[in-house]
A = this chain, B = another copy of it.
Amino acid sequence: MDIKALREAHPEHWMRSTAIRALTLDAVAAANSGHSGMPIGMADVATVLWSKHMKFDAKNPTWPDRDRFILSAGHGSMLIYSLLYLAGDPQITLDEVKNFRQWGARTAGHPENFHADAIEMTTGPLGQGISSSVGFAIAEENLRARHGKQVVDHYTYVIAGDGCLMEGVSQEAIGIAGRYGLGRLVVFWDNNDITIDGKVSLSDRTDQVARFKASGWHVQEIDGHDPEAIDAAISAAKKVTDQPSMIACKTHIALGHAAQDTSKGHGALTNADQNTEAKAGWGWTAGEFDIPADVKSWWEEAGSRGASEREAWEARLAGLSDRKQQEFARVMAGDAPKKLSSVIRAFKKQNADSQPKVATRKASEMVLEVVNPVMTETIGGSADLTGSNNTKTGDMGIFDTEDRKGRYVYWGIREHGMAAAMNGISLHGGLRAYGGTFMAFTDYARPAMRLAALQKTPTVFVMTHDSIGLGEDGPTHQPIEHLAISRATPNMFVFRPADVVETAEAWEIALTQKETPSVLSLTRQGLPTLRKEHKNNNLVEKGAYILADAEGKRQAILLATGSEVEIAMKARDILQAEGIGTRVVSMPCWELFEAQEESYRKRVLPAGPVRVGVEAAARFGWDRWLLGERGREAKAAFVGMESFGASAPAEVLYEKFGITAENVAQKVRDML
C-alpha cells in the first residue's frame, strides 16, 4: 500500500484518522494484548462516519435520538475507544485509553455496554453486533411510527468483519433486515481478506456482495481508505430508505505496518521497532498517547457537532403534549406502566376464581392479552412458531414495511437472529422485546441469550414445550438440560410457572426488570390451576413458596416446578391419605429464592423432613435444594430425567420415565 499517496491525497483527513491508528498502536502495546489491525484498517471509514454523518453529541451519549454505532467486530475495541476519547466522551478519558484491558478500566478487551454510556452493546462474540443492530433498526422504525419523526429519526451504523459475516447468525440477520426493508440500517463490511488462520479464501470464497443482494440489500463497493468514496457511499446509503445498506469497504488490515495484510496484523502489534517504523510511515511524530492539539480540537468539534441538533430535538420534545412527553420518558426509562400491576392482579383474581385447566403457554397468551393493551411498548414475536408459542395477541398488529407501528414480528425460523435482534430492540430503549421458540432450541439462541445476561438486557425468552410433556416430537425437541443451562448463567431469571396464576406473576416480574433477562419455561400440555386462593402479593417474587403445607406432623417436603407441581400435589394427596404430613413447595424461580433472606428460605425449607425434588429435567443443579439448605443426602431424592427423552404421547412418557405421583410418594416412603 502506498501510504505516501494516501497521506498526500487527503493530508488533513489522514492525520485525523491516523490519530485512531496511533492510539490503537500505543494502547495495545501498553496492554501487551489486543487487536491492532482492525482499528488501523477501518480508521478512515470511522473518521468519515463520525465526523460527517453520525448524529451524536459526545457529551450526551444517552440522547435518545442519537444515531447508534455498533462495533460488531468487537475485538477492534480500540477503534471505539479512540473515537470516544478523541470526540470528547466524558467517560473514555486518556487515562482510560492508557489503561486498556486492565482491571477496573472502562476500556475492556471487548466493548462492554455497562462500562460506558456511549457503548450501545457488548460485542466480541462474532455476529452478535450485526444481528442485534437489526433490532436497533426495527426499534427505530417502530418508535418513529409511534412517536413521530420529530423525536425519533436516526440511523444504525454497524462495522462488521469477515468473522461476523461467516457466523451463521449474520445470515439470519441479513434475511430479517432485507425482508423488513430496514432502510436506516447501514453496515460497513471491513473487507480486509484476513482472518486469524490466514486469508479469508482459506475457508470462504463467498461473494458477499451477491449474498447481501440475494436478501434484498442495497450494496456498494468502495475503497475503504478513500475518504471521498466513503463519504459518497454513506450519503448514498442514507438515501435508500426501503432497503438496508451494505458498504463493502476494501481495506488493508494494519495499514502501513509491517504486519499489514497478514493474519499477524489481526492481533496485538507489540514490536516496538515495527511500531515506530509504522508511525514514521504514517507521518505521525507525536509521542505515545499524544494527540496533536489541532487534531484533537478537530475531533472535539466533530464530537460536539450534534449538540445543536440535540438541543433542537429537546425543543421539539418539549413541544409535545405533557402526556406524550411523559409517555416517551417512561418507555425510554424502561419503566413499566402503572396499570401493569393492577391488570395482573385482576387477572390473577379472575383465574383463581375460574380455575382454568390450560397449558402455561396458553396461560402466557392469556396474560399477554391483558398486558399488551396497557403496556404498548412490548414487541412480541416468534421464530415461526406463533401458534405454538402463543406469543401473539389481538391488539398488536404485524410489524411490516407497510405497518411500522405493528408490534408483532414474524422472525422466521431464526431463533438466534430473533434473540439477537430482541436484545437490540431492548437495548435501543423505548421498547420491550419478547419472543418465542421451543425450549430445546435454547441451544440455537444461546449466544444471544448469554449476551442478554452479560450486557444486562431485560429481553424475555418465551420457551414453550418445556419437557417430555411435548410428547411425540421426541428427544430432539424435548429439553432435558435446558433449565440447567439457563439457571447456570449469571444474571438470568428462569421462571417455570406451575399454573395460570404463577404464569401471570412471572410475566409481571419479567416485564419490570431493567437489567435481567428472563426465560419463561412453559408447557405444551394442560395444567390445572393450583393457586386457587387469590393473593394480591406476587408469590413468584419469592422464588419459592409453600403451596400446600403438611397436615399433621411434617414428614416430607416435595419441591417441584412447572408441570411437576401438579404431580407433587397428587403425591401429597397419596401421602396425606397414608398419614404422612407432606408440604409442597413450588419453586418457579430459583434465582429469586436464592436471593431471599436465610430466614425465609429456612421457613420454606426447614431441616428435618425428607425431601423429594420433582422436575421433568436433569437433576443437575437440584442438589443445592435437596442436599443444601438444611437438607441431607440420606433424606433427599429426585424424580426427573436421567437421559434424553423419547417419542410417544406425553402421558406415556411420564409413566415410562417414572415421573409419577406414585413414584414420588414411594421415594418418600423409602426414606422415612
* CB-defined contacts of A652 to chain B, threshold 8 Å: 102-103
* CB-defined contacts of A485 to chain B, threshold 8 Å: 481, 484-485, 488
What per-residue 1/0 map shows which CB atoms of A388-414 lie under 8 Å from chain B?
Answer: 100000000000000000000011111
* CB-defined contacts of A210 to chain B, threshold 8 Å: 210-211, 213-214
* CB-defined contacts of A127 to chain B, threshold 8 Å: 168
**B618 contacts A623, C-beta separation under 8 Å:** no
**B621 contacts A126, C-beta separation under 8 Å:** no
Identify A473's interface contact among B102, B103, B109, B644, CB under 8 A. Answer: B109
Identify A197's interface contact among B124, B386, B620, CB under 8 A. Answer: B386
Q: A525 interface residue, CB < 8 Å from B?
A: no
Q: A34-B472, A109-B474, A474-B110 are in contact. Are A197 and B481 (CB under 8 A)?
A: no
Measured in the bound complex, the distance between the Cα atoms of B166 and A178 in whole Å is 13
Least distance between A96 CB and chain B CB atoms (Å): 12
Cβ-closest chain B residue relative to A484: B488
A435-450: which residues lie under 8 A (CB-CB) from chain B?
440-441, 443-444, 446-447, 450
Q: A206-B175, A206-B215, A647-B109 are in contact. Are A168 and B416 (CB under 8 A)?
A: yes
Q: A518 interface residue, CB < 8 Å from B?
A: no
Measured in the bound complex, the distance between the Cα atoms of B105 and A101 in whole Å is 56
**A211 contacts B215, C-beta separation under 8 Å:** yes
Measured in the bound complex, the distance between the Cα atoms of B211 and A205 in whole Å is 13
**B628 contacts A196, C-beta separation under 8 Å:** no
Q: How many copies does the complex hold?
A: 2
Q: A288 interface residue, CB < 8 Å from B?
A: no
What per-residue 1/0 map shows which CB atoms of A284-318 lie under 8 Å from chain B?
Answer: 00000000000000000000000000000000000
Least distance between A442 CB and chain B CB atoms (Å): 8
Q: A171-B171, A648-B102 are in contact. Are A630 and B633 (CB under 8 A)?
A: yes
What per-residue 1/0 map shows which CB atoms of A174-200 lie under 8 Å from chain B?
Answer: 011011000000000000000111100
Which residue among A74, A170, A207, A627 has the maximum number of chain B CB atoms within 10 Å of its CB?
A627
* CB-defined contacts of A387 to chain B, threshold 8 Å: 196-197
Q: A5 interface residue, CB < 8 Å from B?
A: no
* CB-defined contacts of A647 to chain B, threshold 8 Å: 101-103, 105, 108-110, 112
Q: A378 interface residue, CB < 8 Å from B?
A: no
* CB-defined contacts of A214 to chain B, threshold 8 Å: 206-208, 210-211, 214
Identify A166's interface contact among B112, B172, B205, B628, CB under 8 A. Answer: B172
Least distance between A350 CB and chain B CB atoms (Å): 30
A628-666: which residues lie under 8 A (CB-CB) from chain B?
628-633, 642-644, 646-649, 652-653, 656
**A474 contacts B648, C-beta separation under 8 Å:** no
Interface residues on A, range: 35 or more
**A646 contacts B488, C-beta separation under 8 Å:** no
Cβ-closest chain B residue relative to A108: B647
**B644 contacts A491, C-beta separation under 8 Å:** yes
* CB-defined contacts of A646 to chain B, threshold 8 Å: 103, 108
What per-residue 1/0 map shows which CB atoms of A435-478 lie under 8 Å from chain B?
Answer: 00000110110110011011000000000000000011111110
* CB-defined contacts of A642 to chain B, threshold 8 Å: 490
Q: A443-B446, A488-B485, A644-B491 are in contact. Are A476 and B124 (CB under 8 A)?
A: yes
* CB-defined contacts of A388 to chain B, threshold 8 Å: 196
Q: A384 interface residue, CB < 8 Å from B?
A: yes
* CB-defined contacts of A656 to chain B, threshold 8 Å: 103
Q: A216 interface residue, CB < 8 Å from B?
A: yes
A115-166: which residues lie under 8 A (CB-CB) from chain B?
122-127, 162-163, 166
Least distance between A397 CB and chain B CB atoms (Å): 14
Identify A410's interface contact among B109, B202, B473, B487, CB under 8 A. Answer: B202
Cβ-closest chain B residue relative to A636: B628
Q: A473-B110, A476-B451 are in contact. Are A101 and B384 (CB under 8 A)?
A: no
Measured in the bound complex, the distance between the Cα atoms of B210 and A206 in whole Å is 11
Cβ-closest chain B residue relative to A629: B633
**B206 contacts A476, C-beta separation under 8 Å:** no
**B179 contacts A203, C-beta separation under 8 Å:** yes
**B112 contacts A475, C-beta separation under 8 Å:** yes
Q: A501 interface residue, CB < 8 Å from B?
A: no
Cβ-closest chain B residue relative to A202: B410
**B623 contacts A627, C-beta separation under 8 Å:** yes
Q: A167 interface residue, CB < 8 Å from B?
A: yes
Q: A480 interface residue, CB < 8 Å from B?
A: yes
Q: A33 interface residue, CB < 8 Å from B?
A: yes
Measured in the bound complex, the distance between the Cα atoms of B648 and A369 in whole Å is 47
Q: A521 interface residue, CB < 8 Å from B?
A: no
Measured in the bound complex, the distance between the Cα atoms of B440 and A109 in whole Å is 15
Measured in the bound complex, the distance between the Cα atoms of B388 and A450 in whole Å is 23
Measured in the bound complex, the distance between the Cα atoms of B543 and A104 in whole Å is 38
* CB-defined contacts of A169 to chain B, threshold 8 Å: 168
| Between-chain CB contacts (< 8 Å), 6 pairs | A33-B473, A101-B648, A102-B648, A197-B382, A206-B215, A632-B632
Beyond contacts A108-B647, A168-B414, A197-B387: 5 other A-B pairs, Cβ-Cβ < 8 A, are: A104-B648, A166-B414, A168-B170, A168-B416, A627-B627
Q: Give me the 5 closest cross-chain CB pairs, A-B, nearest first.
A: A168-B168, A203-B412, A171-B171, A108-B647, A124-B476
